[in-house]
Amino acid sequence: METLLTVDDLKISYKSGNYYIKALDGVSFEIKEGESLAIVGESGSGKSTLGMAIARLLPPNAIIEKGRIVMKDIDILNSKPDSIRGKLISMIPQEVGTALSPFHKISTVFEDVMASENKATNILNEASKILAFLGFKDPERILKSYPHELSGGMLQRVLLALAIIKRPYLIIADEPTSMVDAPLRINIVEILNAVRKEFNISMIIITHDIAITPHLCDNIVVMYAGKIMEYGKAKEIIDNPLNPYTKLLINSIPRIKTATRFEVIERKNTQIQFYKGCPFADRCESFMKGICDITIPRYTSLGNRKVLCHLYNDKK
């Protein structure tokens, strides 16, 4: 399989007054064509920042300090955002409630999105077909609606339709299951899988809900404090997590099922800005004094797996 997307040593900070907040700290991974990747990790670990960087949707106070993002030989970070957004990569944002203008009908939003495309196809016909594929019984009514007339789950599917209509190579869905109740979560997982098959689009699914990832994704990136702690095949990671942080995430799965967010895990200082050793050292069950607190761990490759942890640094 050919490589679709390469993220290489990405470092991003946000400027906030006189401070700089480190959001991504040397993130590298690859997605092959047709593959789907989950990005998991608790609040503040840098998941949305990573998604927004790839989709060229970072806010103005974000500073890309280092790194490259390449898709199909296109240097994403040095291209015009308009040549990327929607065409190559679409992102469904975390806050779907504020993603669409309250003054425009859904039909107008589809027409605006397609305005630059010069396509001969009937846009609203095409939108209606995609909405029907996504499970809407009466797509015409949805097209005539304003955003406030739709529920969070409906808006999510409308935004998915808007993401699909230009047929990008990659769709990034930020917390697609957080707006909906448990039964609908399964529904969204099924819809995302169907979209992937039908439209042959790769996906990045950003989620707190590690439990859904093997049903949706081939690979998982586990993030903590802006770093990838573990990266590998979804099923292998869930069955046999190596990094102590991944173990903690997976052990909390039964509780995650009743919570939409990750507050179940005690949070001390996820947004650690200054640490000498491993960012997870102060919360780690396998903490080794004199090593984890003073030396930055290196990545170790174990089969398909990449893991950032001193426990594995000497094992191959």
Ligand X SMILES: Nc1ncnc2c1ncn2[C@@H]1O[C@H](COP(=O)(O)OP(=O)(O)OP(=O)(O)O)[C@@H](O)[C@H]1O
Give the interface with Mg ion as residue ranges (CB under 5 A): 48, 94
Task: Work out what residue 121 binds among Mg ion, ligand X, none; the CB cut-off runs from 5 to 8 Å by kind.
Answer: none
What does the per-residue mask of binding to ligand X show for 92-131, with x meaning CB under 6 A? --x-------------------------------------
What the block records as the tokens of 129 is 């077909």
Instruction: Please name which of 37, 16, 6, 66 lies closest in space to residue 271, comparing C-alpha atoms.
Output: 16
C-alpha separations of 51 from 39, 112, 310 in Å = 9, 23, 28
Least distance CB 126 / ligand X (angstroms): 32
Binding to ligand X, residues 190-229 (CB under 6 A): none
Annotate 134-196 with DSSP letters as a single string.
Answer: TT-S-HHHHHHS-GGGS-HHHHHHHHHHHHHTT--SEEEEESTTTTS-HHHHHHHHHHHHHHH
Q: By CB under 6 A, is residue 6 in contact with ligand X?
A: no
Q: Which is nearer to Mg ion, 207 or 300 (CB)?
A: 207
Q: Which is nearer to Mg ion, 94 or 273 (CB)?
A: 94
Least distance CB 271 / ligand X (angstroms): 4
Contact with ligand X (CB under 6 A) among 6, 145, 271, 313: 271
Task: Work out what residue 59 binds among ligand X, Mg ion, none; the CB cut-off runs from 5 to 8 Å by kind.
Answer: ligand X
Q: By CB under 6 A, is residue 300 in contact with ligand X?
A: no
The type of residue at 177 is: T
What the block records as the tokens of 103 is 């003054």
User: For the chain, what percentages of helix, strand and coil (3-state, to nearest 5) are there?
Assistant: 35, 25, 40
Q: Which is nearer to Mg ion, 40 or 272 (CB)?
A: 40
- Nearest 10 degrees: Cα torsion 245, 248, 253, 254: -170
Contact 285, 276 (CB under 8 A): no
Least distance CB 208 / Mg ion (angstroms): 9
Instruction: Please name which of 267, 170, 176 lies closest in space to residue 213, comparing C-alpha atoms.
Output: 176
Task: Work out what residue 287 binds among Mg ion, ligand X, none; the CB cut-off runs from 5 to 8 Å by kind.
Answer: none
- Which residues, 6+ apart, have CB-to-CB distance to 108 below 8 Å? none
Contact with ligand X (CB under 6 A) among 61, 101, 125, 269: 61
Q: Which is nearer to ligand X, 25 or 164 (CB)?
A: 25
Least distance CB 48 / Mg ion (angstroms): 3
Q: By CB under 6 A, is residue 44 in contact with ligand X?
A: yes
- Nearest 10 degrees: Cα torsion 130, 134, 135, 140: -30
Binding interface with ligand X (CB under 6 A): 14, 16, 21, 23, 41, 43-49, 59, 61, 94, 271
